Structure 1
Amino acid sequence: MAMSNLYSKIAPKPIKRSQDAIPVSQTNAWVNRESLSNSGLATSPSISQQETVQITQPASVPTSPVASPSGNSAFNTSFSLVCSKATTGDPNWQAQRTTVCERNAAMFNNEFMSDIHFVVGSPGHTQTVPAHKYVLATGSSVFFAMFYGGLAEDKAEIEVPDVEPPAFLTLLRYLYCDEIQLEADTVLATLYVAKKYIVPHLARACVNYLETSLTAKNACLLLSQSRLFEEPELMQRCWEVIDAQAEMALQSDGFPDIDIHTLESVLARETLNCKEMHLFDAAMFWASAECLRRELEPTPQNQRIVLGNALYLVRIPTMNLEEFANGAAQNGILTLQETIDIFLHFTASRKPILSFPTKPRAGLQPQVCHRFQSCAYRSNQWRYRGRCDSIQFSVDKRIFVVGFGLYGSSSGAADYNVKIELKRCGRIMAENDTKFFSDGSSNTFHVYFKHPIQIEPESFYTASAILDGGELSYFGQEGMSEVCVGCVAFQFQCSSESTNGTGVQGGQIPELIFYGPTIPSYER
C-alpha cells in the first residue's frame, strides 16, 4: 500500500490540530513544556535545550525606493516595481547576509524569486506555500526527480493533500535554514513528510523527539505509528514502556485509536506486565471505539465482530475464577458454550478444550542493582527513630523502578512498617506505605511501588525509605558510586534528604529493583 494512502487513513487519529488551517500570517507560535506535557509529549533535549520552541515566519516588510548610481528615474521606477512584487524585507539582503545559510533562509516561505507553489493540506483546509526548485532539489532526491528528473513535469502548482501544512513548513525550514523545530502536535506528520520526500536527518530528529517524549500515555499510539513508518528502534522503545507499564498504557486515551494489527500484537505479547483482566477490558475498550468508527452500535455482538480473531488472543482462562465470574462471564461477548467451558476449566477435573490460550504470560523479569559489596551489623548501630535514609542515583538508559531492597533486623525476626518514596527535583513521583517481615538474616527484603516508575537517563532521582520496626538492622558497607547491571549503568551520590546516615559508602537502600531495556530483536 502506498505510504500516502496509508497515512491518509491514520493521520486524523494521532494528530490533533488546534485549528483546521493555519494561514501563513499566523504561523508564529510558542510552545512551552507545559503544553507539550498535556498532549502526552515532551520537548526533546536532543532537538533543543531551550525551555521553548519558537516557530517564526518571515515577515512581509514594505519596500523602500532604491536609487541607482546614475540617478536614472526610469531605472528607479523599474527597480521599485520589481521590489514591490517580491521582497525579503531587506533591499540589501545579499550584502548584509554573510553566509549561504542566511541568504537561503531569507527565501524560506517567500514569494521572492519562487518558481513553484505547493497547495498543502486536505481539501477545504489548504495553504499555498511558495518555494524554489533548486533549494528543494539539493535537499531531497524526491524533489530532484520531481523538478529535474527524466519524467519531470513543468507545473506551476503541486497539490499535496496528504500532508499537514505546519509539517510541510517544518520540512522547508530544514531545507532552507538547516533548522529543526518540532512541535508535539505535528511531529508525527513531520515524520511522515520527511519520509515521503526522503529527508533522513529530519526523520531521525523526529524519531529522537518521539523517543524522548515517550510515556505510557502515548506508547501504544506511537507503536502503531512506528509500525507504519517502519521505525524498528522506536518500536522497541515503545514495547519497553508498554511491557513495564502495561496497565497504564492499556488505559490511555490513545489506546482505542490504534489499528487492528497493533492491537493483535499487544494482545499476543508474552512479556506484558499486567493482569489478564486488564487486557480483556482494553480489548473491549478498543472494540467499542471501533464500532463507533464503523457506525455500529457498540453491543457485545458487534464488539465481537470487529475484534474477530483478536478476541482469542486474550488469555481469559488465566484469570482467577472471581475475575472471570465478575467480568468476562457477564460481559456478553462470549457465547454460552464458551462461558460454560471456561467455568469447567476452572472447576472440573476433566477440562474441556478451549479456543483461548491457557498458559499465563511470562511477564517481565525484574533486575536488581546491588550498590554495596558487603553488609554488617554492630551493637548500637543502624537505629530507626522515624528518620530518613536516602540516596540519589542516575542511569544512562530508560528504566522502570519497581521497588527497593532493604535490610532488616539484626537482632532476630521482626516486622517493619516502611514508607518508600521516589523523587525527581524534589517532586514526589511515587510513594507507598507498606510492610515487610525480616527473618533476622542479612538478606535484603523487597518492597514495591504500586506501579513501575519511568526513569529517564542523565537525570538524578532520590530514593528514600523511612522504617519503623526492629530498632537495630544490618547496613551496607563498601558502597560503589558506579554499578553496571546488564546494559544499564547506575551512578550514585549522597542525598541531602538522608538524615539517618545513609550515603554512597554505607547504609540502607542496598538495592534498586527495576525493569530494564532488552536487546532489540533487529540487533540479535
Structure 2
Amino acid sequence: MDKVKIGDVSAAAFKEFLQFFYFGQVKLTMGNVAAVMNLGEKYNVAECLAVCSKFLKNNLCEDNVCRHYGLAILFNQHELKKACETVIGLNTTAVFHSNGFLTCDRKLLAEILKLDWMSCTEIELFEACMSWVKATGKQDNLTKELVQTQLGQLFYEIRFGSMALDEFTALVPTNGQLFTNTEYTDIIQSITNKEFNAAMFNGNREKRCDLDPWNEKNEIKCIRFSSLRYSTKPYFLKNLETTKFTTNEPLLLKSIGLDVIKRYSSGKYINCEDVPTAITIVEVSGSDDFKKEVEKYNGKANMKSSDFISVKMPKPILVKPGFMYEFRLKQNPPKYCAIGGLLKSEVQVDNGITIQFHDDPLIPDDITSTGLIYKLRFYRIGN
C-alpha cells in the first residue's frame, strides 16, 4: 500500500482531524487546536474551522487572547477575531502584562495597534510596546536602535498626537533617547496644533479609551420569572443571600436586576423600608478541595419595596464556560422581610445560549426556586 507522508502536523493532531472528517467528532485541547485548524484550512473543511473557533472563543482569557487573535486572523475566523478584540479592549492592561502579549510576533502587534478601542491611555500603550521591545529583543535597556530593530514602522503607529503635552513630556526623562529631533518636532506640533498634519507619526488624535464600543453590541436579557404571581409561602431574607450561575458560551455581564422586597404579614405582602445591600460577584474555578476565587465586582445598592433595582457594572464582566459565578448579597433585613417571586433555574436566552442557576433556595414545601437576582443582562461577545 502506498504511504502519504504529511510532514507539517503531528500524528495526534491529524488523528483528531480525521475523527472530525469522518465522524464529526474531535477532542480539542490548547495543545492541538492550532494544528487541527491548520488541517481544516488546508483541506477546506469549514465546519472543522468553526468548531475550533468556538473552542477558542469559549476558552478566551487575558493570558491567551493574543494567541487566539493570531489564529483568528490567520484562518480568517471573523467571530473569533471580534471576540478577541473585545477581550483585548475590555481588559487591556491585563493583556499587556500577559506572557502572550510579550511573546507575540510583530505582525500580531501591528494588528493590535490598529485597534481603535482599548481601555488604556496611549501612554500605557507606548509603555506596553516598550516592554514588548525589551522582551522580544532580550534586552533590559531601551535604545533607539533596539526600538527600530524590533518595532520598525510600528513605532510611528503610536498616537502621540492624542496625548496631552504634559503627558508626552513626562515620557522624556526616561525615554528621551528614543526620539530624534525631527520626531520630537512632529509630535510636539501634533499635540499643540490640531491643524498640523503629522509627517512621521500616526495623525489620528482620537483617544482609544474614549470610544464607546457597547452601542453596537447585541444585548441579551435573561429574565428568570416563571410566574407573575407571588408565592403564598414567602421566602424570608437572610443576612447573606447567594445566587450562582454558569453559562455555556462566553458573555459580557452588563447588569443585574434585584427583585422587590416586601414585609410578609397576616398572609399579605406589604411595603417595607429600603434595605442597603453589599454586592460581591466572584468567579469560582476548581474543585471544593482546590477552589480558586477571583473577585470581579464589589458595590452597593438599596433593595426596595416600590420597584425593581438594576445594578450596572462599571465595565462589563467577561463570564466564561467552565466557571461558576456567584453573587453574594449581604444585608441586615428587618423582621419578616421577604421575597415571593418564583424563578426559573434554567433560562434559554438566545441561539442556544443557556444560563443555568445553581443551589437556589426553595420556596417552603415547594420545588420552585426563589432568590434576589431575577434578571441578568449581557452583551454577546464576538458580534
Structure 2 counterpart of 1:436, one-letter code: K
Gaps of 5+ in 1: 1-113, 121-159, 520-524
Indicate conservation of the 8 Å contact 1:243/1:364, yes or no: no
> Could you tell me how far apart the structure 1 residues matched to 2:121 and 2:313 are?
17
Match for residue 371 of structure 1 among 214, 223, 231:
223
Match for residue 454 of structure 1 among 295, 319, 322:
319
> CA 1:477–1:287 in 2, change beyond 3 Å: closer, same or farther?
same
Higher relative CO (Cα under 8 Å, sequence separation at least 6) belongs to: 2
Structural mapping, 1:286-325, within 5 Å: 286-291=132-137, 298-300=142-144, 302-303=146-147, 306-311=150-155, 313-315=157-159
2:231 aligned with 1:400: no
Indicate conservation of the 8 Å contact 1:244/1:400, yes or no: no
Indicate conservation of the 8 Å contact 1:462/1:495, yes or no: no
The DSSP-based 3-state class of the residue aligned with 2:129 is helix
Partner of residue 249, structure 1: 95
> Could you tell me how far apart the structure 1 residues matched to 2:101 and 2:153 are?
19
CA deviation string 1:141-198 (max 9, x = no partner): xxxxxxxxxxxxxxxxxxx4xx144467647965999785655334323433454455
2:301 aligned with 1:442: no
> CA 1:474–1:510 in 2, change beyond 3 Å: closer, same or farther?
farther
TM-score with structure 2 length normalisation? 0.65
Indicate conservation of the 8 Å contact 2:159/2:204, yes or no: yes
Once the 2 structures are TM-superposed, how far is the Cα of residue 275 of structure 1 from its aligned partner? 5.2
Match for residue 419 of structure 1 among 275, 280, 294:
280
2:211 aligned with 1:361: yes
Match for residue 239 of structure 2 among 363, 373, 386:
386
2:126 aligned with 1:280: yes
> Could you tell me how far apart the structure 2 residues matched to 1:318 and 1:454 are?
32
Gaps of 5+ in 2: 262-270
Structural mapping, 1:106-117, within 5 Å: 114-116=1-3
Partner of residue 71, structure 2: 225
Indicate conservation of the 8 Å contact 2:278/2:330, yes or no: yes
Partner of residue 466, structure 1: 329
Indicate conservation of the 8 Å contact 2:283/2:323, yes or no: no
> CA 1:386–1:291 in 2, change beyond 3 Å: closer, same or farther?
same
Aligned length: 349
Structure 2 counterpart of 1:115, one-letter code: D
> Could you tell me how far apart the structure 2 residues matched to 1:245 and 1:466 are?
25
CA deviation string 1:34-74 (max 9, x = no partner): xxxxxxxxxxxxxxxxxxxxxxxxxxxxxxxxxxxxxxxxx
Indicate conservation of the 8 Å contact 1:408/1:474, yes or no: no
2:33 aligned with 1:187: yes
Partner of residue 508, structure 1: 372
The DSSP-based 3-state class of the residue aligned with 2:328 is strand
Once the 2 structures are TM-superposed, how far is the Cα of residue 492 of structure 1 from its aligned partner? 4.7
> Could you tell me how far apart the structure 1 residues matched to 2:166 and 2:259 are?
36
The DSSP-based 3-state class of the residue aligned with 2:330 is strand
Structure 1 counterpart of 2:319, one-letter code: Q
- What is the identity percentage for the equivalent residue pairs of Structure 1 and Structure 2? 19
Indicate conservation of the 8 Å contact 2:242/2:326, yes or no: yes
Indicate conservation of the 8 Å contact 2:283/2:296, yes or no: no
Once the 2 structures are TM-superposed, how far is the Cα of residue 444 of structure 1 from its aligned partner? 1.9
Larger Rg computed on CA atoms:
1
> CA 1:482–1:416 in 2, change beyond 3 Å: closer, same or farther?
closer
> CA 1:211–1:322 in 2, change beyond 3 Å: closer, same or farther?
same
> Could you tell me how far apart the structure 2 residues matched to 1:277 and 1:518 are?
27
TM-score with structure 1 length normalisation? 0.50
Partner of residue 62, structure 2: 216
